[in-house]
Amino acid sequence: MKNLCWLRRDLRLHDHAALSAAVETGETTVAFIFDSHILDKLKNKSDKRVTFIYQSLQEIETLLQKKGSSLVVRYGKPEEEIPKLCEELGIDKVFANRDYEPYAKKRDALIAKKVHLETFKDSVFYEKHEVLTGSATLYKVFTPYKNKWLEKFNDSGKIISNFECNLKNLRKFENKKNILVTDWYKIIGFKENLALLTGGTKQALKRLNDFHDHISEYKVARDFPAIAGTSLLSVYIRFGNLSVRDMIRAGLEKKSEGAQTWVSEIIWRDFYQMILDSHPYVEKGAFKKEYDQIKYLGNEVDFKAWCEGRTGFPIVDAAMRCLNETGMMHNRLRMIVASFLCKILLVDWKKGEHYFAEHLLDFDLAANNGGWQWSSSSGCDAQPYFRIFNPYTQSEKFDSKGEFIKQWVPELKKAGPKEIHRPDTLLFQDYTAPIVSYEKNRVRCLAMYSAALQRDK
Ligand SMILES: Cc1cc2nc3c(=O)[nH]c(=O)nc-3n(C[C@H](O)[C@H](O)[C@H](O)COP(=O)(O)OP(=O)(O)OC[C@H]3O[C@@H](n4cnc5c(N)ncnc54)[C@H](O)[C@@H]3O)c2cc1C
C-alpha cells in the first residue's frame, strides 16, 4: 500500500492518529498543502501565522530528512492538489485528521469523491456524538457537558491513547527540493514575520513542561494579565504542534485544583468544537437565533477606535494594542474587550469576531465564535444579556496596580494606582477621553437587547 498522510491543523509527527494509521498500513508520504482558498483571503501578507506554520513545517522536514524522507509541499486548491499528488506518487489511500470547521468539512467531502480519503479523530479528545445527555441528545450547557465528559473518561479507565508513529515506514526521497531550501514564502505571496512564539513541537513541549511546573497556581493566576499564569499553548494546539492528549496527560499528572481547572479549559475547547460541528450555522449568526434580531446602535468610528486601542478606557486600549502588536491576548482581556464592544460601544459582536479572526495568532473558529457568542449573550451557554462587564472594576480587580495597562499605554505611565483605571483627562491630556459614557451606554445596551428580545416573544 502507498499512503499519503495529509497534514492540516496537526503539524507534528508524534501522537498523530492519521499518521499512525498510515505508517501502520503502508509506505507513507507526508504532505502539506498551502491552501490558496485560505491564504488568498488573508489581507495581511506578513501574517505571523503563516510564519508559525512555516517554522512548524521546517521542523517536520528536518525530522523527516533524518529518516531519509521528505515533506511534500504544494500551493493551490486542496481539491485539485491532493488528487494530483495521488496520481503523481501512485497513492492508494489518503489519511487525514478530522477538522470540524464548515469549510474543512466541505473540502474533505469534495476530496473524498475524488480519492480514497480516510479521516480520524485527533484534534479533540471527544467528538460530538461521544458525549451525549441521558436522552442521547447533544449538550448545550457546559457544566453538565463537562461532568459527562469526565464521567466518560473515568469510566474508560482514564485511558489516553498515544498514537505511536513508526517513522521507519516513510517513503524515501533522494535529492528532493525541500521546504528548507525552496522559498515557499515567495511562491505563496507572503513575507516572513516572526511572532513572539516560535512554531514547532520542540517549543510546544518545552512550554508545556515549563507550565507544568507551576500548573497548581493556575486557578488563581490565570485571571491576571500582568503575570504569566496561563500556558500560552493555544497557538500550539491550534496548529497541532502538540496533541490534545499531550495536554490532558500533563494536566492529569498533577492532582491540584489548578491542574483540574486547566483540564476544564481544555474541555471547553472540546465543547466549542462540538457546538460548531453540530450547529455550523453559528459561523454566520447567533446560536440563539432571536439574538440575530438585535439592531446594534454603535457606529464605525467607535469600532475603529476599539480596533486601534483609542477608546479612552485604559484596560480595553491596553488589551487591543497588545493584540495588534503581538497577536496575543489574555483570556480575561478577551472577555472584557468583547463585552465592551457589543455592550458598551453597541457594535455587532460579529465585527469583533472578524477582527479577532484576522489578528489572533491562536485564531480558531470554534473557540473564537464560542467566546464572542458567550460575551454577547447570543451563545448556547452564554452569560445573560443583562450581565455587562464594567471595564473600570474589571481593571481594578484584575490589573490592580495597572502593570499591564502601563506596559501598553505609555500615556498613563505616571498615573497613580486609582487613576490608572479611570484617568482624569485633565491630568493625562495625551490620553484619549472616553469615547462613550459607560454608565449611559450600559442603560442603552439593556434597552437595545430587551427591545429585540421582547419583540421576539
Ligand atoms: C472573545 C473570545 C475569543 C476567543 N478566541 C479564541 C481563539 O480564537 N482561539 C483560542 O484558542 N481560544 C480563544 N479564546 C479562548 C481563550 O481566551 C484562549 O484559549 C486562551 O486565552 C489561550 O491562552 P492559553 O493558551 O494561555 O490558555 P490556558 O488558560 O493555558 O488554557 C489551556 C488551553 O485550553 C483552551 N482554552 C482555554 N480557554 C478556552 C476557552 N474559553 N474556550 C476554548 N478553549 C479554551 C486553549 O486551547 C488553551 O490553550 C477566546 C475567548 C474569548 C472570550
Task: Look up residue 379 and give its three cell numbers.
Answer: 451563545
Query: Using 50, 70 and 90 to split pLDDT, how confident is the model at 84?
Result: very high
> Which are the contacts of 429, defined by CB distance < 8 A and separation ≥ 6?
none
Report the distance separating Cα 436 and Cα 256, nearest Å.
Answer: 43
> Which are the contacts of 210, defined by CB distance < 8 A and separation ≥ 6?
none
Q: Whose CA is nearest to atom 48 of ligand 1?
A: 234
Q: Please state which CATH class domain 2-123 belongs to.
A: alpha beta
Residue type, 217: E
In the reported structure, the alpha carbon of residue 230 is separated from the centroid of ligand 1 by a whole-number distance in angstroms of 10
Decide: helix, strand or coil at residue 170: strand
pLDDT digits (tens, 9 = 90+) for 294-315: 999 999 999 999 999 999 999 9
Q: Which helix (H) or strand (E) holds 95?
A: strand 93-97
Q: Are 303 and 345 in contact (CB under 8 A)?
A: yes
- Counting every residue written for the chain, the total comes to 457
Specify the pLDDT at position 455. 60
In the reported structure, the alpha carbon of residue 362 is separated from the centroid of ligand 1 by a whole-number distance in angstroms of 8
In the reported structure, the alpha carbon of residue 360 is separated from the centroid of ligand 1 by a whole-number distance in angstroms of 11
What is the distance, to the nearest Å, from the Cα of residue 317 to the centroid of all Cα atoms in its chain? 22
SS3 content of the chain, % helix, strand, coil (to 5): 55, 5, 40
| Mean pLDDT, rounded, for 437-441 | 98
- Name residues contacting ligand 1 (CB within 6 A): 222, 230-234, 237-238, 262, 265-266, 268-269, 272, 331, 334-335, 338, 356, 360, 362-364, 367-368, 370-372, 375
pLDDT digits (tens, 9 = 90+) for 393-410: 999 999 999 999 999 999
Q: Which of 209, 260, 320, 331 to mutate to test the pocket of ligand 1 (most atoms within 8 A of CB)?
A: 331
Residue 76 bridge partners (DSSP): 35
Report the distance separating Cα 99 and Cα 7, nearest Å.
Answer: 11
Specify the pLDDT at position 424. 87
* Global model pTM greater than 0.85: yes
In the reported structure, the alpha carbon of residue 123 is separated from the centroid of ligand 1 by a whole-number distance in angstroms of 15
Measure Cα distances from 16 to 12, 25, 31, 172, 244 in Å: 7, 14, 14, 20, 10
Specify the pLDDT at position 177. 85
Specify the pLDDT at position 95. 99
Give the angle 317-319-320 at the CA atoms, nearest 5°.
65
What is the distance, to the nearest Å, from the Cα of residue 451 to the centroid of all Cα atoms in its chain? 33
CA torsion angle 206 210 216 220 (round to 10): -100
Q: Which of 335, 337, 362 to mutate to test the pocket of ligand 1 (most atoms within 8 A of CB)?
A: 362
In the reported structure, the alpha carbon of residue 323 is separated from the centroid of ligand 1 by a whole-number distance in angstroms of 14
Provide CATH code, domain 289-456: 1.10.579.10
In the reported structure, the alpha carbon of residue 295 is separated from the centroid of ligand 1 by a whole-number distance in angstroms of 28
Query: Using 50, 70 and 90 to split pLDDT, how confident is the model at 209?
Result: very high
- Looking at 1.25.40.80, 3.40.50.800, 2.40.40.20, 1.10.340.70, the CATH number of the domain 124-160+200-278 comes to 1.25.40.80
Task: Look up residue 242 and give its three cell numbers.
Answer: 502538540
Domain ranges of the chain: 2-123, 124-160+200-278, 289-456
Measure Cα distances from 57 to 48, 63, 160, 205, 239 in Å: 14, 10, 26, 16, 11
Backbone angles phi, psi at 6, to 5 degrees: -95, 110
Q: Whose CA is nearest to atom 37 of ligand 1?
A: 265
Report the distance separating Cα 453 and Cα 447, nearest Å.
Answer: 10
| Mean pLDDT, rounded, for 242-253 | 96
422: which DSSP letter? S
Specify the pLDDT at position 456. 52
Report the distance separating Cα 269 and Cα 252, nearest Å.
Answer: 16
Is pLDDT of 253 > 60?
yes
In the reported structure, the alpha carbon of residue 233 is separated from the centroid of ligand 1 by a whole-number distance in angstroms of 9
In the reported structure, the alpha carbon of residue 235 is separated from the centroid of ligand 1 by a whole-number distance in angstroms of 9
**Integer distance in angstroms from the first to the last C-alpha of the chain?**
60
Report the distance separating Cα 379 and Cα 286, nearest Å.
Answer: 6
Q: Whose CA is nearest to atom 52 of ligand 1?
A: 371
Report the distance separating Cα 149 and Cα 126, nearest Å.
Answer: 8
